[in-house]
Structure 1
Amino acid sequence: MEFKFKFLGKTCWFLEVDKKFKIGCNPSFILKKNSDVKLVSPMDDSFKNIKLWLITECNPDSFDEEGVKVIEDEAKIVSRKECGKYLRDKKNANIYFVDWFKKIDLEIKGYKIVVEVIPTYKGGGFLSNPILGKANGYLVTIVDRLGKIKRIYVTGETIYQENIIKTLIYYPIDIMIANIGHIKNSYFSGEKSMDLVMLNSFIRTLNPTEVITIFSKGESSRKEMKKYIELIEVGEEKDI
């Protein structure tokens, strides 16, 4: 199987499979005032032929009312029930609200696709809950007409956590798409997401064949992060 990955900004991207169809993640276009986050235009051809959308959580960096407009009516959508408020008008779409550890079987263009929801965890400050609202990661297993199997792990916004590893450790991971975040410096209530140490822990334990690292923040933060790790740029394509 041949893949092409393109980063579209925030936590949005697509993965094209054998030039037949695309799997997309997290369409979102609304920006905060004075934001320096770059985005690919919703009018771009990148958003055509996306037959499966994976939505990790219902927050402004992942999904919003503008993002839903790029989803084609016949597309399949895997999401959390909290995102249903944006999907009421998608009458012809196949929408699946799936919680942790559940899986669904799909068929797209003759390919069998199994989507399993992987838990995500968000650590916080001293007084914050260790799980700050549920979100979904995804293990996507693609089987082509010849029976060839590829597995893609989409981390979503998560910290490194043993329960994630227990779910994935027995699968060979061909592609890991990892969301690098940052730490808001508050001892009492700060939210912590995946940092470079956690990313390396994921890589060491899961040993994925290919790792794609995305960074959803603005250009000033991106410039600082690039001192430490190679990041795929907004609008950049990568053949896998």
Structure 2
Amino acid sequence: MELKFKFLGKSCWILDIDNKVKIGSNPSFNVKKGSDTKFIEPHDEAFKNVKLWLITECTPNSFDEEGAKVIELDSKIIARKECGKLLRDKKNSNIYFLDWFKKIEFEIKGYKIIVEGVPTYKGGGFLSSPILGKANGYLLTVIDNENKRKRIYVTGETIYQENIIKTLIYYPIDLMITNIENIKNNYFSGEKTMDLVMLNSFIRTLNPKEVITIFSKGEKARKEIQKYIELIEIGEEKNIY
């Protein structure tokens, strides 16, 4: 089974399975005035014929009104219930609101695709404990008609947390798609987000065969973080065998 990953900017990407089934995540196109954030425009062919969309959270950087417009009416959509307000016009779509630890299974063009909601955590400063965020990570298991399978872990916007590891530790992960936000967090102030230490902890404990790291902020910040880690570029494709 061959997977082809393409990063479209912000936290949006497309995963193509054997050139037969396309899975997408987090279409979002609005940016703040003066922002240097870049992305692939919504009229691009990459957004065509996506059969399954995974929405990790309902925030402007992950999913917005313009992003909802690129989702075709025959697409299946998995999201949290907080995203329902942006999906009201998708009356003919198959919309599924998935909570943590719940599973849903689809048959799409001869592939069985199992999606499980995985916890995400966000936290405040040094004296704060991680708090439950209104967001999902996802574990995808894709099985073809020869019973070959691939497992893909989509972290979403999260910090490293032991409860996530407990959910995933017994699964062999073929591909981990992870969002990184900082080089190093300041634990005494501000919101904690994924940094290099946390990313390395995920890799060390889950031991995925392949890791794709995406950075959703502006180009100036991207250049700074690229001094320390390889990031997939906007529009870049990567094959995973």
TM-score class, shorter-chain normalisation, is over 0.9
1:132 CA displacement: 5.5
Equivalent residue runs for 1:167-186 within 5 Å:
167-182=167-182
Q: Structure 1 runs of 4+ off > 4 angstroms? A: 126-129, 183-186
1:150 maps to 150
1:136-157 Cα offsets, whole Å, 9 max, x none, are 0000000001111110000000
1:165 maps to 165
Equivalent residue runs for 1:194-205 within 5 Å:
194-205=194-205
1:198-239 Cα offsets, whole Å, 9 max, x none, are 111111111101000000010000000000000001111111
2:236 maps to 236
1:185 CA displacement: 5.4
Aligned identity (percent) is 75
Q: TM-score, normalised by structure 1?
A: 0.96
Worse overlay, 176-185 or 103-112: 176-185
Equivalent residue runs for 1:186-225 within 5 Å:
187-188=188-189, 190-225=190-225
Structure 2: which amino acid aligns with 1:45?
E
Q: CA RMSD in A?
A: 1.4
1:134 CA displacement: 2.2
2:226 maps to 226
For the residues of structure 2 that align with 1:133 and 1:194, how far apart are their CA atoms?
14
For the residues of structure 1 that align with 2:210 and 2:126, how far apart are their CA atoms?
35
1:115 CA displacement: 0.2
1:126 CA displacement: 4.3
Structure 1: which amino acid aligns with 2:30?
I
Structure 1: which amino acid aligns with 2:74?
E
For the residues of structure 1 that align with 2:162 and 2:187, how far apart are their CA atoms?
24
2:138 maps to 138
Are residue 113 (structure 1) and residue 113 (structure 2) matched?
A: yes
1:129 CA displacement: 5.8
Contact persistence 2:185–2:195 (CA under 8 A): no
Are residue 11 (structure 1) and residue 11 (structure 2) matched?
A: yes
Equivalent residue runs for 1:44-123 within 5 Å:
44-123=44-123
For the residues of structure 1 that align with 2:194 and 2:92, how far apart are their CA atoms?
36
1:43-80 Cα offsets, whole Å, 9 max, x none, are 00010111000000000110000000000100000000
For the residues of structure 2 that align with 1:234 and 1:71, how far apart are their CA atoms?
20
1:160 CA displacement: 0.6
The secondary structure found in structure 2 opposite 1:124 is: coil
Unaligned runs of 5+ in 1: none
For the residues of structure 2 that align with 1:181 and 1:132, how far apart are their CA atoms?
18
1:184 CA displacement: 7.4
1:91 CA displacement: 1.0
For the residues of structure 2 that align with 1:25 and 1:193, how far apart are their CA atoms?
20
1:34 maps to 34
Contact persistence 2:185–2:193 (CA under 8 A): no
Structure 2: which amino acid aligns with 1:61?
N
1:159-192 Cα offsets, whole Å, 9 max, x none, are 111000000000000000010012775834x111
1:19 CA displacement: 0.1
1:130 CA displacement: 2.3
Unaligned runs of 5+ in 2: none
